[in-house]
């Protein structure tokens, strides 16, 4: 067997293993079924359903086709290498080098193979202990994630927001849409700690602030995660603004409590009660899906409510601006001495380090 044939076979084996690990055959079956649906007579009569199906087809094609094309190409080059024609060695070597580059690029998707990794996500930020400093820290994190979305050319939309009294924000929820948004941002879930000289006290003392970031896969289709309506308590009330003034004159704000877990979602951004209820249900489904992933439970009835105090102590990353400059992720151990770049949305190295860490553990 020639050296080129060995290299081709080795690459072919690696690609085949990756294809199986990513579940490409089952994704192909799902894609074929959706294509068959899209070819049925009257498919476009229900425009909303048709658009959902076409979106699913496009998403599956983007995951499946690069791998199937790579598989076909390496199969062809392996067959040519098996002919042992020395005059083809240089061309085979060049093609193998090119295919290896494609494989290395696609291999990144192996890190994003969780059940919801290719979903859009809902990211919420909650100011923690530290008063105005913590609320300002929450606003700094908001800017960091918005900048990351801009770098990634993702869509970022505010769902709900509560402003701070003096500065910053008490809490905010964002809907983030982009390729593998949840898979890439899921590692941001947890408590973020900031150490800096406070701009909010006259002595300019060093201050430690905390903010909690929640990242959940966006589950906007009821059939993806079925919730028993008997387990929900739904309250409607008048939306309020600063100083207790009413935002509108109808009971449009909605608060939904999931009784088994104690999870509560309250939304008042929209003027329509129906819109607020739909948004609240999407967030509730998303939180329950995230809770399932954390607690490794298949049935919603087995879920326990999240332990807020334990989560609050579960610090995942420190950002130090004084007396030295450093950002350190406490899980992957990745660190950088350029917190300004990180806070400007340059999160790729931190995200990749976390995904590499999860593959190793």
- Sheet strands (E) in the chain: 121-127, 155-163, 169-177, 190-197, 206-217, 232-237, 253-258, 263-267, 315-320, 326-329, 335-336
What pLDDT shows up at residue 107? 81
Is 134 within 8 Å of 210 (Cβ atoms)? yes
Closest C-alpha among 155, 153, 136, 132 to residue 343: 136
Going from the C-alpha of 213 to that of each of 18, 114, 165, 170, 185, the distances in angstroms are: 32, 20, 20, 12, 10
Is 133 within 8 Å of 193 (Cβ atoms)? no
Query: Which domains, ranges and CATH numbers included, belong to the chain?
Result: 3-111 (1.20.58.410), 117-361 (3.30.70.1660)
Written as six digits, the tokens of 185 are: 């941002």
What pLDDT shows up at residue 240? 67
User: Is the alpha carbon torsion for 226, 228, 232, 237 positive or negative?
Assistant: positive
Is 354 within 8 Å of 329 (Cβ atoms)? yes
CA–CA distance, 87 with 321 (Å, rounded to integer): 61
What pLDDT shows up at residue 249? 54
Query: pLDDT tens track of the chain, all 361 residues?
Result: 688 889 999 999 999 998 998 889 999 999 999 999 999 999 999 998 899 899 889 988 988 999 999 999 999 999 998 888 888 888 999 999 999 999 988 887 778 888 899 899 999 999 987 789 999 999 999 999 999 999 999 999 999 899 888 889 999 999 999 989 999 999 999 999 999 998 887 777 888 999 999 999 999 888 888 899 999 999 998 876 543 444 455 678 899 999 999 999 998 877 788 889 999 999 999 999 998 888 877 777 777 777 654 446 678 999 999 999 999 999 999 999 999 999 999 999 999 999 988 877 6
What pLDDT shows up at residue 139? 97
Going from the C-alpha of 335 to that of each of 87, 148, 328, 350, the distances in angstroms are: 49, 18, 4, 8
What pLDDT shows up at residue 324? 94
What pLDDT shows up at residue 245? 42
């Amino acid at each position: 067997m020639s050296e080129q044939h060995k290299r081709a076979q080795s690459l072919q084996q690696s690609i085949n293993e990756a294809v199986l690990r990513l579940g490409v055959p089952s994704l192909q079956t799902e894609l074929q079924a959706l294509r068959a649906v899209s070819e049925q007579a009257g498919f476009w009569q229900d425009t909303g359903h048709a658009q959902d199906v076409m979106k699913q087809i496009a998403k599956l094609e983007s995951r499946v086709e690069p791998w199937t094309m790579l598989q076909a190409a390496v199969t062809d080059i392996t067959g040519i290498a098996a002919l042992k024609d020395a005059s083809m060695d240089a061309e085979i070597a060049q093609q193998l080098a090119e295919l290896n580059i494609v494989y290395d690029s696609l291999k990144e998707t192996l890190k994003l193979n969780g059940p919801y990794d290719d979903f859009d996500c809902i990211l919420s930020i909650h100011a923690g202990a530290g008063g105005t400093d913590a609320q300002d820290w929450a606003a700094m994190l908001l800017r960091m994630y918005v900048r990351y979305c801009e770098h990634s050319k993702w869509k970022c939309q505010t769902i709900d927001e509560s402003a701070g009294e003096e500065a910053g924000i008490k809490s905010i929820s964002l809907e983030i849409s982009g390729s593998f948004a949840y898979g890439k941002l899921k590692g941001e879930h947890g408590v973020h700690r900031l150490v800096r000289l406070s701009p909010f006290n006259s002595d300019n003392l060093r201050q430690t602030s905390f903010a909690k970031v929640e990242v959940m896969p966006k589950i906007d289709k009821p059939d993806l995660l079925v919730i028993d309506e008997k387990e929900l308590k739904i309250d409607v009330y008048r939306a309020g603004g600063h100083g207790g003034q009413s935002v509108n004159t109808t009971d449009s704000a909605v608060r939904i409590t999931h009784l088994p877990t104690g999870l509560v979602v309250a939304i008042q951004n929209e003027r329509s009660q129906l819109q607020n209820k739909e948004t609240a249900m999407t967030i509730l489904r998303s939180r329950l899906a995230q809770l399932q992933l954390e607690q490794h439970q298949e049935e919603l009835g087995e879920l326990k409510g999240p332990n807020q105090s334990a989560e609050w102590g579960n610090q995942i990353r420190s950002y130090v601006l004084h007396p030295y400059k450093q950002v350190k992720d406490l899980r992957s151990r990745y660190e950088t001495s350029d917190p300004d770049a990180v806070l400007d949305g340059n999160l790729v190295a931190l995200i990749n380090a976390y995904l590499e860490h999860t593959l190793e553990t």
